[in-house]
Amino acid sequence: MNQLSLFENARSLSSTDEFMADILAFSEFGRTTGEELIDGIPYFINEFWTSGQRQAHSIHEVSYRACFKAQLPEFFIARLTQPGDVVFDPFMGRGTTPVQAALMGRQAFGNDINPLSVLLTRPRLRPITLQAVATALNSVDWSRGKIEREDLLAFYHPETLKKLEALRLWLAERAPLGGEDVDPTADWVRMVAINRLSGHSPGFFSGRSMPPNQAVSIKSQLKINEKLGVKPPERDVAAVIIKKSKTLLKDGCALSQVRSSLHTGAAWDVPGIPEASVDLTVTSPPFLDIVHYAADNWLRCWFAGIDPETVAIDMHRTEEAWTAMVHRVLAEQARILRPGGYVAFEVGEVRNGKVLLEQLVWKAAEALPFNRLGVMVNAQEFTKTANCWGIANGTKGTNTNRIVLLQRN
C-alpha cells in the first residue's frame, strides 16, 4: 500500500478492518509501535507527529489554556478533506482547527460557549497587513483613558492602564461586541491585545505575572509583586501590539477566499450549521473538572467587556455527566456531518491515567449513526509541556494525543 498518506482512500473505506490495515501500513510520521485491542477498542499507536515537527504556522501563536497543537488538525485535514471542504470544531477555544483549515484552503467553521473564542479566532481568518495595524493604532486617542479599576494596578503601571482603557474605548466604537459591522483591523488589534494582557516578559502589558494563558487573581498578583519586590513597569501598548502582530504574520495570513462561520453557544446545539454540511470535525472537549476556564480568563473578559458570570461553561465532575455531554455533542455531529464525514475527537488522560476518556467517548458514540473506527494514540518521545512541569514521559496525558476516530454512516 502506498504510504504517502494514512487515509489516501479514506472516502472509500468500507470497514474497520480496511482502516486498521491502512493504519498499520502507515509510517510517514514515525515509527509504528503496533496495534492493540483493549476492551474491544482497536488502538493504533504511533508517533504520527513529533515534537520536532511542532513548528506550526506563526499565526497560531495565540495563548489559550488546554489547547492542542496545530499539527493535530493539520494531520486529519490533509488526509480526510479536499480544498473547499468544511472543517468544524464545536469546542474551538483559541480557534486552532478553523484557523488551520483556512490556511489549507478549507471552509473554517467553529463554535464555543465562550464568546472570547470568536474574538480570538475571527481576526485570523481574514487577510491583514502590519501596515494596516500600525495605521489603526495611530488613530487611537490615547489621552482618553481613565483608570476605572484601581485594583488592576496590581498588573499595570498607571500610564499603561490608562492606555488600555483608551484602547477599550476605541475598540468599542470600531469593533463592538455582537456587532455585525466590525472593522477587521480593530478586530485584529483586540485579539492581539487580549493575548498580551498578562505574562512574564516585556512583550506583555503587565509586570511580571503568570504565563498568558491563565491570569492569576488580583490577590495572587499582589503576592507576586511583593515576593519579587517590584512594581509594574510602564509599557508602550501600541509597540507591544505591533511586535506581536509582526510575529503572528511572519508566515503570512489566511487566504482571502476562505469562507468562515463562527458561533457562540453550546457544542451540542449549533443551529447555525446546516444538516449534512460538514466534511470533518476535529475537536477536543473540556476534560472533566481539571481546567477552570472562567477563572483563567477573567482578565481577558474584563478587557473585552464580557461578563464572565454570563458564560455558562460546564464543569463535568463525574464520568457519567461527562459521557452524557459527549453523547449530546456527538448526536449534533451526526446531524451536521455529511454521510462518510469524519470526527476526530481528541482527549487526554486525567486523574493520573485512572480515567481513560477515549473509552468514555467510545461509549458515548454507541447507538449513534457512526462507524467507530478506533483510537489513535500519538505517542511522543518528548514534549516541552511534560519537561517544564517535571513530569515523566508517559504520565498525566501531557505527551500523548488520544483521538477517537468516527465516520458518519
Total number of domains constituting the chain: 1
Cell 467510545 maps to which residue? 362
Q: How many helices (H) and strands (E) in the chain? A: 14, 11
Strand ranges, E, within 318-369:
337-347, 349-350, 355-356
Question: Given this model, what pLDDT does residue 50 score?
Answer: 62
Residue 405 has pLDDT above 80, yes or no: yes
DSSP strand pairing (370-379 vs 41-46): parallel
pTM for the model stands at 0.89
234 in any annotated domain: yes
316: Cβ–Cβ under 8 A, 6 or more apart, which residues?
286, 288, 289, 322, 325
254 in any annotated domain: no
Question: Given this model, what pLDDT does residue 53 score?
Answer: 47
37 in any annotated domain: no
Half-sphere exposure of 24 (CA within 13 A, CB side): 11
140 in any annotated domain: yes
88 in any annotated domain: no
Fill in the amino acid letter for 247: T
221 in any annotated domain: yes
Contact 288, 329 (CB under 8 A): no
320 in any annotated domain: no
Closest CA relative to residue 247, chosen from 201, 295, 291, 281 = 201
- Average pLDDT over every residue of 305-332: 88
Our measurement of the distance from residue 22's CA atom to the centroid of its chain's CA atoms, rounded to an integer in Å, reads 29
Say whether 110 sits in a helix, a strand or coil. Answer: strand
The tens digit of pLDDT for each residue in 130-171 reads: 999 999 999 999 999 999 999 999 999 999 999 999 999 999
34 in any annotated domain: no
Question: What is the phi-psi region of residue 352: left when phi exceeds 0, alpha when psi lies from -120 to 50, beta otherwise?
Answer: left
Fill in the amino acid letter for 381: E
Q: How far apart are the first and last CA of the chain?
A: 25
What is the extent of the structural domain holding 197? 130-248
